Chain A
Amino acid sequence: MSYKNLIWYKSLLSAEKSCLKDDKIKKVHYKFEDGREMVEEYNVDTQVLLRRAWKVRGKLGGEGKWHVEVGDPIPDATPSNDVADIIESKDQPVLSRRNTRINLEWRIRNLPYPIETYSIKVDNENKCIVISTTNKKYYKKLEVPELERINLSLEQTNVQASHNFNTLIITYKKPQKLLDMEKEWYEELKKVKPIKDIPSDCKTQ
Chain B
Amino acid sequence: MASIAAAQVQEVRSITRIERIGAHSHIRGLGLDDSLEPRAVSQGMVGQKMARKAAGVVLQMIREGKIAGRAVLLAGQPGTGKTAIAMGLAQALGPDTPFTSMAGSEIYSLEMSKTEALTQAIRKSIGIRIKEESEIIEGEVVEVVIERAAGTGGARVGRLTLKTTDMETNYDMGTKMIDSLLKEKVQAGDVITIDKATGKINKLGRSFARARDYDATGQQARFVQCPEGELQKRKEVVHTVTLHEVDVINSRTHGFLALFSGDTGEIKSEIREQINSKVAEWREEGKAEMIPGVLFVDEAHMLDIECFSFLNRALESETAPIVIMATNRGITRIRGTNYKSPHGIPLDLLDRMIIVPTSPYSHQELKEILNIRCEEEDCQMSADALTVLTRVATETSLRYAIQLITTASLVAKRRKASEVSMEDVKKVYSLFLDEHRSEQFLKEYQDEFMFDDGAGDAPQLMEVTQ
Contact A60 B241, beta carbon cutoff 8 Å: yes
Determine the chain B residues whose CB is within 8 A of the CB of A62 once the complex forms. 249-250, 252
CB distance from B254 to the nearest CB of A (A): 4
B458 contact set on A, CB distance < 8 A: none
Check A84–B197 contact: CB distance below 8 A: yes
Please give me the 9 A-B residue pairs with the lowest Cβ-Cβ distance, nearest first.
A85-B174, A84-B199, A139-B166, A139-B167, A89-B170, A62-B249, A61-B250, A63-B254, A59-B132
Q: Which one of A61, A86, A88, A92 lies within 8 Å of B278 (CB-CB)?
A: A61
User: B137-168 toward A: CB 8 Å interface, digit per residue (1/0)?
Assistant: 10000000000000000000001100111111
Q: Are A92 and B170 in contact (CB under 8 A)?
A: yes
With A58-B249, A61-B246, A63-B254 as given contacts, are A91 and B199 in contact (CB-CB < 8 Å)? no
A86 touches B171 (CB 8 A): yes
1/0 per residue, CB under 8 A from A, across B240-273: the answer is: 0100011001101011101100000000000000
Whether the Cβ atoms of A141 and B176 lie closer than 8 Å is no
Q: Which of B160, B166, B176 has the most CB of A within 10 A?
A: B166
- A-B contacts besides A62-B249, A63-B252, 17 pairs, CB < 8 Å: A60-B246, A60-B250, A61-B246, A78-B256, A78-B259, A84-B196, A84-B197, A85-B176, A85-B177, A86-B194, A87-B172, A89-B169, A89-B172, A137-B167, A139-B229, A139-B230, A140-B167
Interface residue count on the A side (C-beta < 8 Å):
26
B167 near A141 with CB under 8 A, answer no
Q: Which residues of chain B have a CB within 8 Å of any CB of chain A?
A: 130, 132-133, 137, 159-160, 163-177, 194-199, 229-230, 241, 245-246, 249-250, 252, 254-256, 258-259, 275, 278
| A79 to B: closest C-beta gap in Å | 11
Query: Chain A: which residue is nearest B132 at the CB level?
Result: A59
* Complex Cα–Cα for A140 and B258 (A): 36
A87 to B172, CA, bound (A): 5
Could you jot down 5 A-B contacts, CB within 8 Å?
Answer: A58-B249, A59-B132, A84-B176, A84-B177, A86-B199
A86 touching B246 in the complex, CB below 8 Å, given contacts A77-B255, A77-B256:
no
> Which residues of chain B have C-beta atoms less than 8 A from A59's C-beta?
130, 132-133
Q: Are B255 and A78 in contact (CB under 8 A)?
A: yes
What's the Cα separation between A85 and B164 when bound, in Å? Answer: 21
Residues of A within 8 A of B (CB): 58-63, 77-78, 83-92, 132-133, 136-141
Cα–Cα distance between A91 and B130 once the two chains are bound (Å): 36
Judge whether B168 and A137 touch: CB under 8 Å: yes
Chain A residues with Cβ below 8 Å from B133 are: 59
Q: Look across to chain A and name the residue whose beta carbon is closest to the beta carbon of B199.
A: A84
Write the chain A residue with the least CB distance to B288.
A59
Query: Are the C-beta atoms of B167 and A136 separated by less than 8 Å?
Result: yes
A78 to B194, CA, bound (A): 24
Whether A138 contacts B170 by the Cβ 8 Å rule is no
CA distance A59 to B174 in the complex (A): 27
* B160 pairs with A86, CB closer than 8 A: yes
Contacts of B132 in A (CB 8 A): 58-60
A92 to B159, CA, bound (A): 12
Residues of A within 8 A of B259 (CB): 78
A58 to B176 CA separation, bound complex (whole angstroms): 23
Contact assessment for A85 and B199 in the assembled complex, using a CB-CB cutoff below 8 Å: yes
* Contact A84 B170, CB 8 Å, known A59-B130, A59-B132, A62-B250: no
Are B258 and A78 closer than 8 Å at their CB atoms? yes
On whether the beta carbons of A86 and B250 are closer than 8 Å, the reply is no
A61-B278, A83-B197, A84-B199 are contacts. A91–B256 as well, Cβ < 8 Å?
no
Partner of B196, one of A58, A86, A91, A139: A86
Nearest residue, chain A, Cβ from B200: A84
- Residue in A closest to B135 when the chains form the complex, CB atoms: A84
Q: How far is the CA of A103 from the CA of B245 in the complex (A)?
A: 45
